[in-house]
Amino acid sequence: MKQELDTKSGRRLQSTMPASTTVLHRNRKGTPQEKATARRWVNKFRSFMRSRRAMSQPTPIKKPPIPHLVDTRRAAEILGRSAATLKRWRAEGVGPNWIELQGRISYDVNVLLEYIQENTRVASVRAAMEEAREAV
């Protein structure tokens, strides 16, 4: 193994790479076996550096979709209710979620559609069983 001198502390460092590998890598002289050893060490180092570069790349952050907002009157039309009903639901804490920006009430269309889906009821147990059989 090659002994090197640390410039800061003056201590001797022991390299993990054989001395012949360093020399061979620089001047490309030596026996075929020494050259093969040098190539293996260089390839290991390059592979290690590639894996470090791959790990250091940031993963892309998935941005949420931009909501399509509508006012209370349009939300009431979508739900088939009056604007006064939506106002009452907000006061009671029921109904679909809403957004308040600078004192104005808005509803996300996707939230309204989810609300409709969650509150859709099947007429009877028999109809639900038939629906389940058709889905399979």
Q: Please give the DSSP secondary-structure letter assigned to residue 123.
A: S
What is the domain range of residue 76? 69-135
pLDDT in tens, 1-57: 445 555 555 565 555 555 555 554 555 567 778 888 888 888 888 888 887 776 666
Q: What CATH number is attached to the domain comprising 116?
A: 1.10.10
**Same domain for 73 and 50?**
no
Are residues 5 and 12 in contact, defined by beta-carbon separation less than 8 angstroms? yes
Q: Are residues 94 and 48 in the same domain?
A: no
- Does 51 share its domain with 76? no
Task: Look at residue 114 and tell me if it is in a domain.
Answer: yes
Number of structural domains in the chain: 2
Q: Are residues 23 and 78 in the same domain?
A: no
C-alpha to C-alpha distance for 108 and 69, rounded to whole angstroms: 5
Residue 106 falls in which region: left (phi positive, over 0), alpha (psi -120 to 50) or beta: beta
Is the pTM here over 0.85, yes or no? no
DSSP state of 32: H
Flag whether 63 is in a domain: no
**Is the same domain home to 78 and 49?**
no
How do residues 92-104 score in pLDDT, each as one tens digit? Answer: 999 999 999 999 9
